[in-house]
Structure 1
Amino acid sequence: MSRSEPLKISVNPQQTGLVSERSRMSYLAIKRLVKCLALILIVLSVSLVLILKEALDNRVRIVYKEHSAKATILKLVKPISTTNRIQSVVGSSQETFVNQLQWTKCRWSSGLRIVSSTTRSPWTQMGTKEVYFHSAYWDDRGRAHRTHAFVRVLAYLRGSAADKPKMQCYYPEWRVSIQAHVQETWLPMWDQDPDEQTFRSFLVNCRVPPGVTELQSVSLSTEVCDEMATLKVVDNRFLALPKRKKFCLCVKPLLFNMQDISKQLIEWIEANRLFGAEKIVFYLYQVHRKVSKVLDHYVRLGVVQVVPWSLPQELNLLNGRDLKVFFHRKVWQKRRSEVLPYNHCFYQNFNEFEFVLPIDIDEFIFPLAVESWHEVLSGHLLKHPDEKQLIGSFSVRNAYFFRSWNPKSNLNEDLVIEAFTQRSANLSQPGFSVKSFMNTDVVVTLFNHYALSALLPTQKLTTHLNPDLIVMNHYKATCPNDFGRQCEENFLKYSMNDTSILRFVPKIKARIKAVQIDWDK
């Protein structure tokens, strides 16, 4: 073949048709793959849009997960329609909602208002209602008995006995609400028909959501998921470590602005320290300048805590003299006003102490056969070991030492317990005018004399300690006015000499001598 001749290529018609068929099949396969991928992308896109919409539409979610047969709260996730402000949810099992509690899921709060302990007034009013909240406390004692934890809220309500509003407890951190259990801290047999101007003491019990181990705040309202009044939750569980102490005393608000009782107060404090008091909490309206010096001295020693006390609204505007006149005219209001400070003292100290003792400064509870309260109660519980978990208060019976029986007494030279040795021959009957060691493992509410309610329905409110082992000497001018003929017949008519407390006088005088207070400073 010469170089100038063109190259000739022969093509087989059968080979050409085979190549075209392969190309067409590849094209169809690619087309089907593209359609599948497009469909998958569409499905994924729609799913993503739905997920995002669900996340944006639902502002509050809670899911309960069972763990070790207990309900444990986790973060977020069953949707609630935003078209409604609230939606009720009922638990599906006892593990999830103990005792079929009915909770309400709430939307986000508009703004959390936490009341600080540094605010000028300790009272928080619930909207325009005449309900005033003082403080809220974490209480998980029930969980040791497989029941509930609570936030306990101390409150005054102004109104008649028929006024007992339904309240809702709302937890802003968890966006759930539940109806509160509201109980009056009072015995119905006393002052049965208070007028509409009377301030009455209440404990508002707010159940804690299952699995929650701490809370920052609680809001209370008459409406579900509302924040008419928001309080910080005080959690003093750390005070129980490493070991609880024995005895804390609580003294109702003192109003002695014109009377110097400093000498008698030192005697009373030192006597109670000798008997076993480790802490004494004094609530104050107003006191004399020298009384303030005594209290300041013991505050520096770490023995005394002073809590300034006030009443809501216009009662707080009264000065000391006017308040004293007001309480003289309104005896039942005075007594009702004393109950809430006692319960405040209990919840401030129930984690740190085994027993809380509400007591007045004219009362001396002392052991007869041993040296301390601890020995008396330890001996009693040794004989009745179940009572520490079953009894709310251990009561001590009262013997009146009326000053009219001791006209020659000289309080400038003698101690009170030296000057008055003539007492009523009869002790107070069980349950009447007693004072009690409140068992912090059991008590929920209390008043001046004994426990009013207990943690569990199987627990009892009180038992009386043997008066041959411990008794209370009550030093008064005469019978209380409202006791009437009952006091005259039972106590004034019969008297006897009693010097059993005098064996403590040398030790008490030695302790008093060691007290150094600069009265002129």
Structure 2
Amino acid sequence: MAYKCECGELHATEERVARYLPSLMSEVDSLTNRTAVHEIDQFHPSLAIHFLTEVEERGYRCTTTPSLFSIRHTNQVWQEGRVRGATYLVYGAYWDEREDTGPVVRVLTMTDTPSPPTPYCLFHTHAHLPPTSTRATRLDYVHWQEEIPGQWLPYLVTCMAGPGGVVPRAVSLVESQCANPTNAMRVHHHTPPGTRPKKNLALCHKFLFNPTRDFSIKLVEWIEAAKAWGVDSITFYLAAVHPNVTKVLHHYQTLGDVTLHPWASPGHLPSLPHLYRALFDTQRYVLFTSENIPYTDCLLRHINTHRYVAVWDMDEFILPASQFNSLVDMVDAAKTRATYQGLEPVSYLARCAYYFDDLVEPSSPSLPGYVNLLRHVTRTVKFTPPAVFTKSIHDTQYALGLHAHFALVSLRGQLDKNQDLYHLYPGSEGHLAHYRSQCQGEDQTECQLDYRPYLIRDITMWRYRDRILAETTEVLLRLGLIHDELHRGIH
């Protein structure tokens, strides 16, 4: 069949690319025993490297099909596209079959304008065929603060899939149907093998960005506690971390408990290891806009594999009430209750109680000093108000765009806080344990008056105390993060 370009013209692969690329991409890394093309695929979270390589090796392409070296990389994470004067930085693309009107492709981006022009999606289904195109049908702003011109702003672009419901190999975000694309994102389409049902709960953590802080010991206990309470997998985004933290994450990655993705700042923002913390601690708008990208990416990667996705930080943990054996049991019961009320919640919010750091249990051979969560069993009686400092578990049937506290966008559109949020009752359903030295926020007056004076003992975490302690100790010893004499309680 003749190769015909519907718009533009036919381009031949550059001579040196045609000559050397196949052997270069086939070179094997001696450490991982993977080829160069597979190494790139593992290193970059979304670059459609297999498709682009196949296009070059075919020998010719249309103008509307990108070449390997026409991609505009701003760093190892972001690719650039221009749409009528606006810059789109493209992070990821995802196949979504949840819409009643048929499958769509979601493209997660950041733009440099508060009113981005509507782009087109070019769908690349085969390396030997020109792409098909469709104009975006929906642009969702994935943030809770007002758009500020000049800042990078998170948007989720939705395009109807092409005819036949075929999952494209790659998608490019462009200005028009006949534009020359400068980005090519592989379309993530994760499905459980065979007819096996979805797993229950995936946990998402935002980017880790402090290379000087060694929280490896706390991280091990936090992961083991999550596993004990029913979390199937945890996803982290890595900007810069301490070597011991890297050691822990790679250990759990090898076991299949943890998934790691690289992170770098969008556009002109710095991606220097020792500058990340200064950036996020001083430029709070940048932090709050940027972190919605990994939260939403993590959600969209799990819509086909998990029933629920949770988001909380390492100094937090959602604890179910005493009648529940797992986090999933807690949410399932809340979902049943909401259904009786005629609701289909997107997010299940847990209100916050503080477990202050100066109120931990004394260390002992049965509760050694290297555990953190297990020694925090005194909390404030008072909980923060609903929707204030909460963290959530999200239903993958409906959720579409997330921020740190609850979903911002669902399949139904922008979130309706009266219909889409379910507030877990702390006493009978569950609450958020927040492990801190003081209350959240700058002004501690309310903390001293209303929270600190009223305390209660809460040993909910001890439901799985023996398991968490044993698994944490075993991993810490194996990785050399504690020594045997410390394990025996000799300090």
**TM-score of the superposition, structure 2-length normalised?**
0.74
CA distance in 2, matches of 1:226, 1:346: 30
Larger-Rg structure: 1
Aligned-pair identity (%): 24
For 1:374-410, what per-residue CA distance to the aligned partner results, in whole angstroms no more than 9, with x for missing partners?
222233344445789922112222112233x538966
1:171 Cα shift?
Answer: 3.2
1:487 Cα shift?
Answer: 5.8
- CA, structure 1 residues 57+383, in 2 after alignment: closer, same or farther (shift >3 Å)? closer
Aligned twin of 1:416: 372
CA distance in 2, matches of 1:387, 1:452: 22
Q: Retained in 2: the 8 A contact 1:433–1:449?
A: yes
Aligned twin of 1:445: 401
1:201 Cα shift?
Answer: 1.4
CA distance in 2, matches of 1:456, 1:204: 15
Aligned twin of 1:250: 204
1:462 Cα shift?
Answer: 1.8
2:480 is aligned with 1:519: yes
1:447 Cα shift?
Answer: 1.2
2:411 is aligned with 1:430: no
CA distance in 2, matches of 1:328, 1:263: 24
- CA, structure 1 residues 153+386, in 2 after alignment: closer, same or farther (shift >3 Å)? farther
Query: Could you say what secondary structure the match of 1:319 adopts?
Result: coil
Q: Retained in 2: the 8 A contact 1:281–1:345?
A: yes
2:140 is aligned with 1:183: yes
1:129 Cα shift?
Answer: 4.0
1:511 Cα shift?
Answer: 2.1
Q: Which runs of 5+ in 1 are unaligned?
A: 1-54, 61-107
Residue from 85, 89, 110 that aligns with 2:63 = 110
Aligned twin of 2:302: 349
Q: Retained in 1: the 8 A contact 2:296–2:402?
A: yes
CA distance in 2, matches of 1:243, 1:388: 25
Residue 178 of structure 1 aligns with an amino acid whose one-letter code is: R
CA distance in 2, matches of 1:284, 1:227: 32
2:121 is aligned with 1:121: no
What does residue range 33-72 of structure 1 map to in structure 2 within 5 Å?
A: 59=6
The more displaced of 163-172 and 286-295 is 163-172
CA distance in 2, matches of 1:487, 1:138: 46
Residue 265 of structure 1 aligns with an amino acid whose one-letter code is: L
Residue 152 of structure 2 aligns with an amino acid whose one-letter code is: F
1:443 Cα shift?
Answer: 0.9
Residue from 233, 243, 251 that aligns with 1:297 = 251
CA distance in 2, matches of 1:395, 1:489: 25
User: Which structure is richer in relative contact order (CA contacts within 8 A, separation 6 or more)?
Assistant: 2
Q: Retained in 2: the 8 A contact 1:362–1:474?
A: yes
Q: Which runs of 5+ in 2 are unaligned?
A: 8-60, 125-129, 482-491
1:139 Cα shift?
Answer: 0.6
2:92 is aligned with 1:138: no
What does residue range 185-200 of structure 1 map to in structure 2 within 5 Å?
A: 185-187=142-144, 190=145, 192=146, 194-196=148-150, 198-200=151-153
Aligned twin of 2:423: 464
1:331 Cα shift?
Answer: 1.4
CA distance in 1, matches of 2:243, 2:317: 24
For 1:16-72, what per-residue CA distance to the aligned partner results, in whole angstroms no more than 9, with x for missing partners?
xxxxxxxxxxxxxxxxxxxxxxxxxxxxxxxxxxxxxxx999958xxxxxxxxxxxx
- CA, structure 1 residues 227+435, in 2 after alignment: closer, same or farther (shift >3 Å)? farther
Aligned twin of 1:167: 119
CA distance in 2, matches of 1:234, 1:176: 18
Residue 407 of structure 2 aligns with an amino acid whose one-letter code is: A
Aligned twin of 2:290: 337
Query: Could you say what secondary structure the match of 1:307 adopts?
Result: strand
Residue from 432, 435, 440 that aligns with 1:475 = 435
Q: Retained in 1: the 8 A contact 2:63–2:179?
A: no
What does residue range 4-19 of structure 1 map to in structure 2 within 5 Å?
A: none
CA distance in 2, matches of 1:216, 1:389: 37
- CA, structure 1 residues 209+486, in 2 after alignment: closer, same or farther (shift >3 Å)? farther
1:493 Cα shift?
Answer: 5.7
Query: Could you say what secondary structure the match of 2:328 adopts?
Result: helix
CA distance in 2, matches of 1:443, 1:114: 34
CA distance in 1, matches of 2:211, 2:116: 35
Residue 335 of structure 1 aligns with an amino acid whose one-letter code is: F
2:281 is aligned with 1:320: no
Residue from 144, 152, 158 that aligns with 1:205 = 158
- CA, structure 1 residues 419+388, in 2 after alignment: closer, same or farther (shift >3 Å)? farther
Q: Retained in 1: the 8 A contact 2:295–2:404?
A: yes
Q: Retained in 2: the 8 A contact 1:239–1:351?
A: no
**TM-score of the superposition, structure 1-length normalised?**
0.70
Query: Could you say what secondary structure the match of 1:218 adopts?
Result: strand
1:509 Cα shift?
Answer: 0.9
Stretches of 4+ aligned residues off by more than 6 angstroms: 55-58, 114-117, 386-389, 407-412
Residue 398 of structure 2 aligns with an amino acid whose one-letter code is: V
2:238 is aligned with 1:284: yes
Residue from 110, 120, 133 that aligns with 1:156 = 110
The more displaced of 231-240 and 265-274 is 231-240
CA distance in 2, matches of 1:258, 1:320: 9
Query: Could you say what secondary structure the match of 1:260 adopts?
Result: coil
